[in-house]
């Protein structure tokens, strides 16, 4: 089958990249002992607890790449405590290598932050250079980056994070940098700063474009008042300092960018810490001085540039040309939860994770509970207003950036039939619209108890399964709460991400397939009525048959255990009764109805018979009636017409979706009743033993038209065509028709996607709000959208 699909290792590198995971964890320098304990407890210096090195004696020769001052300062400590040598890499080299890697390989790594609003950007990596990298640590480095390994430190300033923290500590007596930052959120800098209005009697100095609230002189008020340090609020001092330093860095960065003709300025380093106000201040300064010509961009992994660069300096790991489609970011619980910060002890196994989840949610409701949303905007139009005080209502780390675990999956590829991969956006529903997020939040929260029941039952209902189910529910609720609080916390958020997060969270608590028995039951019931359906279909003329088949797909898509309304329906009848009811209700025109155009392409008009498609990729959806009575009969029709069919199914379970692993058995069962399916399945290598009994008497079938199955690389009810399995990418090369079926694949994602070949999108809309929003219709309306190749 691989040969037939044209899968080869032709353009692969000579040594394999095996994949792996990148975790991002941060420790303050002062907590180096905790860092060493963490490394030791997880045996990271010996390849990790899961590694086969686990039982091997301490490896005295282990080398850890490191950069920055700490690589020198702590070299002896690492040797003494862990027996490892630190291999020191140049800091600038590492910063640039880290930034280049992030910007090229991680989707939506960069974002702008204006007036409290984050917007993610996809940087075209062919159009990345040159840019200015501003790394704000204790001091500030400004680096002009022209390419990989090509850079020059062109400027810098000694007024940086260290200045803010040093002065702040002296002036406010704060005990930590984060405390100082938090304080600034409750501050009013006009108590300390001299504003234009203070000089011009509350008036703007409009002639030169300065509003009354513009800071004329940072800390300037302190010179004219007879006050001592104790007379100023620490909050106001902290804010004044933060603005002074952020504006100064922003201004110097802009002038440097101007000097070298650079349009893009990326900021990194641990000064920013995802702190909304800091980012707003820097953005404002850039915007103000460039008159809107230049934009400040921030990086989600801002604090890890050096560490990443150091890691990348290991030779021959093959990561240099890694692309965004090979990296998948996951947000497991118990891994760094917020901004790479460890909450709680390092977790060894699932049991520890569950115990931690139990404690975490008990004690940490303030960490995870949704907090009142504050309207966006921290600086105000002029950028010099008092920020909205977030301190009282929002927990201190709420605005921190979340970085997940990066999974490197070298086999993932961009789907080759995407018409414009750069413009492709899988999500139809944008969850940055808060009312939309609230709606889906309510839906997914509402589904949770039922899902937990199914998941626990799928594991035999044992005590262990109940505990895991409980931990899953807590974990998923915590994710939802976090995202309600800050929808951009995990990067750009679409509905597909939420649905996938739920599946990933189930897997994290070792629920392999929550709907296993439901899927089996529905498959069996549907296979039992398949012969009758095929007989009925075979008595029809070509045109009626095609319509009946499409109707059948739409009707059978009602079996969706992810839809509240549908699940309620299933209590009202057997599978077959519901299937019949659904078919009987099929009335054209459907809400979106391109059937006639599709029919013309398939059957032609008058005497003109168009050639059949060469190969069709059928992206199948649910188990039971959906696959057996809907998609398989449609596949059979295509095969009958001489089109090769590839059934594309999930690699991992998601709700009641059929998986690629399950399909061969279903096809084999169906093939017992059908010569066409049998011959095609044999030709496609799906049936190992030829079946002797045939029932439907279809004749003259070319055994050369194969029916195949490939996995799509996903474990979600949706599909993101930027990251599919290499098998699917290979199968797509000869395909000239794709059929996307179901709400997840054809509506939530890909409704607006354009393909290089003919595309048919078929789904029943099983949610009232979605029906209203997408097709101005009602629940159970159907979509049959046909888009011929240009």
Residue 378 DSSP SS3: coil
Of 167 and 719, nearer to ligand PAZ (C-beta) is: 719
Tell me how far apart the alpha carbons of residues 421 and 721 are, in angstroms, rounded to a whole number: 9
Question: Does 712 sit near ligand PAZ (CB under 6 A)?
Answer: no
Question: Does 748 sit near ligand PAZ (CB under 6 A)?
Answer: yes
23-31, 318-326, 558-566, 704-712 -> range binding ligand PAZ (CB under 6 A): 558-566
* Contacts (Cβ under 8 Å, ≥6 apart) of 421: 414, 415, 722
The option from ligand PAZ, Mn ion, none interacting with 743 (CB < 5 to 8 A, set by class) reads ligand PAZ
The option from ligand PAZ, Mn ion, none interacting with 722 (CB < 5 to 8 A, set by class) reads none
Tell me how far apart the alpha carbons of residues 78 and 100 are, in angstroms, rounded to a whole number: 29
Of 655 and 671, nearer to Mn ion (C-beta) is: 655
Of 239 and 743, nearer to ligand PAZ (C-beta) is: 743
Residue with tokens 């959208």: 785
The option from Mn ion, ligand PAZ, none interacting with 563 (CB < 5 to 8 A, set by class) reads ligand PAZ
Contact positions with Mn ion (CB under 5 A) in 649-668: 657
- Token pair, residue 382, equals 């002029």
In the complex, what is the shortest distance from the CB of residue 174 to ligand PAZ, in angstroms, rounded to a whole number?
46
Tell me, what DSSP letter sits at residue 684? Answer: T
Question: Does 767 sit near ligand PAZ (CB under 6 A)?
Answer: yes
Check: CB of residue 265 under 8 Å from CB of residue 134. Answer: yes
236-244, 465-473, 521-529, 620-628 -> range binding Mn ion (CB under 5 A): 620-628
Distances from the Cα of 265 to the Cαs of 32, 250, 341, in angstroms? 32, 10, 26
Of 324 and 783, nearer to ligand PAZ (C-beta) is: 783
Alpha helical stretches, state H, 260-304: 276-290
Check: CB of residue 758 under 8 Å from CB of residue 601. Answer: yes
Contact positions with Mn ion (CB under 5 A) in 726-745: 742
The option from Mn ion, ligand PAZ, none interacting with 647 (CB < 5 to 8 A, set by class) reads none
Of 504 and 621, nearer to ligand PAZ (C-beta) is: 621
Q: Could you tell me how far CA 502 lies from the centroid of its own chain?
A: 12
Count of beta carbons in the 10 Å neighbourhood of residue 411: 14
- Token pair, residue 577, equals 């009764």
Distances from the Cα of 720 to the Cαs of 162, 218, 290, 353, 751, in angstroms? 43, 49, 37, 30, 12
Q: Which residues lie across from 22 on neighbouring strands?
A: 406
Residue with tokens 């990067």: 491
* Contacts (Cβ under 8 Å, ≥6 apart) of 25: 38, 336, 340, 342
In the complex, what is the shortest distance from the CB of residue 654 to Mn ion, in angstroms, rounded to a whole number?
7
Residue with tokens 């003329």: 541
Q: Which of 653, 666, 678, 687 is nearest to 1 (CA)?
A: 687
Contact positions with ligand PAZ (CB under 6 A) in 433-452: 443
The option from ligand PAZ, Mn ion, none interacting with 443 (CB < 5 to 8 A, set by class) reads ligand PAZ
Of 408 and 592, nearer to ligand PAZ (C-beta) is: 592
309-317, 531-539, 667-675, 743-751 -> range binding ligand PAZ (CB under 6 A): 743-751
By rule CB under 6 A, what count of residues binds ligand PAZ? 20
In the complex, what is the shortest distance from the CB of residue 450 to ligand PAZ, in angstroms, rounded to a whole number?
10
Question: Does 499 sit near ligand PAZ (CB under 6 A)?
Answer: yes
The option from Mn ion, ligand PAZ, none interacting with 767 (CB < 5 to 8 A, set by class) reads ligand PAZ
123-131, 328-336, 609-617, 761-769 -> range binding ligand PAZ (CB under 6 A): 761-769
Q: Which residues lie across from 725 on neighbouring strands?
A: none
Check: CB of residue 206 under 8 Å from CB of residue 213. Answer: no
In the complex, what is the shortest distance from the CB of residue 748 to ligand PAZ, in angstroms, rounded to a whole number?
5
Question: Does 742 sit near ligand PAZ (CB under 6 A)?
Answer: yes
Tell me how far apart the alpha carbons of residues 266 and 250 are, in angstroms, rounded to a whole number: 11
- Token pair, residue 702, equals 């070319």
Binding mask 458-497 for ligand PAZ (x = CB under 6 A): ----------------------------------------
Contact positions with ligand PAZ (CB under 6 A) in 599-658: 621-622, 655
In the complex, what is the shortest distance from the CB of residue 46 to ligand PAZ, in angstroms, rounded to a whole number?
42
- What percentage of the chain's residues is helix, strand, coil (to nearest 5)? 45, 15, 40
Which positions touch ligand PAZ (CB under 6 A)?
Answer: 443, 499, 557, 560, 562-565, 621-622, 655, 717, 742-745, 748, 763, 766-767
Which positions touch Mn ion (CB under 5 A)?
Answer: 621-622, 657, 717, 742
């Amino acid at each position: 089958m691989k040969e037939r699909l044209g899968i080869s290792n032709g353009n692969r590198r000579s040594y394999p990249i095996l994949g792996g995971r990148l975790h991002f964890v941060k420790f303050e320098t002062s907590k180096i002992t905790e860092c060493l304990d963490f490394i030791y407890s997880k045996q990271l210096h010996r390849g990790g607890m899961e590694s086969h090195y686990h039982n091997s004696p301490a490896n005295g020769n282990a080398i850890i790449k490191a950069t920055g001052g700490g690589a020198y300062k702590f070299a002896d400590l690492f040797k003494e405590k862990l027996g490892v040598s630190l291999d020191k890499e140049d800091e600038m080299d590492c910063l640039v290598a880290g930034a280049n890697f992030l910007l090229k390989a991680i989707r939506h790594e960069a974002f702008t932050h204006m007036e409290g609003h984050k917007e993610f950007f996809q940087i075209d990596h062919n159009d990345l250079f040159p840019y200015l990298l501003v790394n704000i640590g204790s001091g500030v480095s400004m680096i002009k980056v022209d390419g990989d390994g090509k850079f020059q430190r062109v400027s810098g300033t000694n007024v940086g994070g260290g200045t803010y923290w040093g002065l702040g500590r002296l002036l406010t007596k704060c005990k930590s940098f984060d405390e100082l930052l938090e304080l600034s959120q409750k501050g009013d800098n006009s108590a300390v700063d001299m504003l234009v209005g203070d000089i011009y009697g509350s008036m703007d100095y409009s002639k030169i474009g300065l509003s009354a609230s513009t800071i004329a002189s940072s800390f300037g008020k302190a010179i004219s008042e007879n006050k001592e340090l104790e007379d100023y609020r620490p909050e106001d001092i902290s804010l004044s300092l933060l603005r002074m330093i952020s504006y100064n860095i922003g201004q110097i960065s802009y002038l440097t960018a101007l000097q070298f003709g650079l349009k893009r300025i990326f900021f990194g380093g641990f000064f920013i810490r995802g702190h909304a106000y800091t980012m707003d201040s820097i953005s404002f300064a850039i915007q103000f001085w460039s008159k809107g010509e230049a934009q400040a961009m921030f990086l989600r992994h801002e604090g890890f540039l050096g560490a990443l660069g150091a890691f990348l300096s290991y030779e021959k790991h093959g990561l240099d040309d890694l692309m965004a489609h090979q990296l998948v970011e996951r947000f497991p619980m118990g891994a760094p939860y917020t901004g790479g910060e460890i909450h709680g002890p390092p977790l060894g196994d699932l049991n520890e994770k569950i115990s931690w989840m139990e404690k975490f949610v008990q004690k940490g409701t303030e960490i995870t509970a949704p907090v009142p949303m504050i309207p966006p905007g921290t600086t105000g139009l002029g950028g010099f207003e008092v920020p909205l005080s977030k301190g009282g209502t929002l927990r201190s780390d709420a605005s921190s950036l979340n970085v997940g675990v990066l999974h490197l999956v070298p086999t993932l590829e961009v789907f080759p039939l995407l018409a414009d991969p750069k413009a492709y956006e899988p999500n139809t529903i944008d969850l940055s619209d808060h009312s939309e997020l609230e709606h889906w939040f309510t839906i997914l929260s509402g589904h949770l108890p039922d899902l937990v029941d199914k998941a626990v039952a799928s594991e035999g209902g044992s005590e262990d399964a109940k505990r895991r189910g409980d931990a899953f529910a807590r974990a998923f609720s915590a994710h939802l709460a976090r995202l309600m609080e800050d929808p951009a916390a995990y990067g750009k958020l679409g509905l597909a991400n939420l649905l996938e997060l739920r599946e990933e969270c189930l897997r994290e608590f070792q629920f392999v397939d929550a709907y296993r028995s439901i899927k089996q039951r529905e498959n069996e019931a549907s296979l039992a009525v398949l012969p009758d359906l095929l007989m009925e279909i075979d008595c029809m003329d070509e045109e009626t048959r095609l319509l009946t088949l499409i109707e059948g797909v739409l009707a059978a898509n009602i079996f969706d255990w992810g839809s509240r309304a549908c699940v309620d329906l299933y209590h009202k009848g057997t599978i077959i009764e519901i299937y019949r009811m659904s078919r009987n209700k099929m009335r054209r025109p459907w809400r979106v109805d391109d059937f006639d155009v599709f029919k013309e392409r398939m059957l032609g008009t008058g005497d003109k018979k168009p050639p059949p498609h060469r190969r069709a990729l059928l992206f199948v959806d649910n188990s039971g009636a959906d696959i057996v009575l809907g998609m398989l009969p449609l596949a059979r029709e295509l095969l009958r017409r001489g089109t090769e069919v590839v059934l594309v199914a999930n690699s991992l379970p998601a709700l009641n979706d059929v998986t690629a692993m399950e399909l061969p058995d279903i096809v084999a069962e169906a093939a017992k009743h059908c010569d066409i399916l049998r011959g095609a399945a044999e030709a496609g290598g799906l049936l190992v033993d030829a079946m002797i009994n045939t029932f439907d008497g279809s004749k003259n079938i070319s055994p050369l038209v194969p029916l195949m199955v490939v996995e799509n690389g996903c474990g979600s009810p949706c599909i993101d065509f930027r990251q599919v399995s290499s098998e699917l990418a290979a199968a797509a090369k000869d395909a000239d028709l794709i059929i996307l079926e179901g709400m997840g694949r054809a509506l939530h994602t890909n409704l607006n996607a354009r393909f290089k070949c003919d595309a048919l999108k078929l789904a029943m809309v099983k949610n009232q709000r979605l029906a209203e929003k997408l097709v101005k219709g009602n629940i159970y309306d159907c979509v049959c959208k046909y888009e011929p190749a240009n």
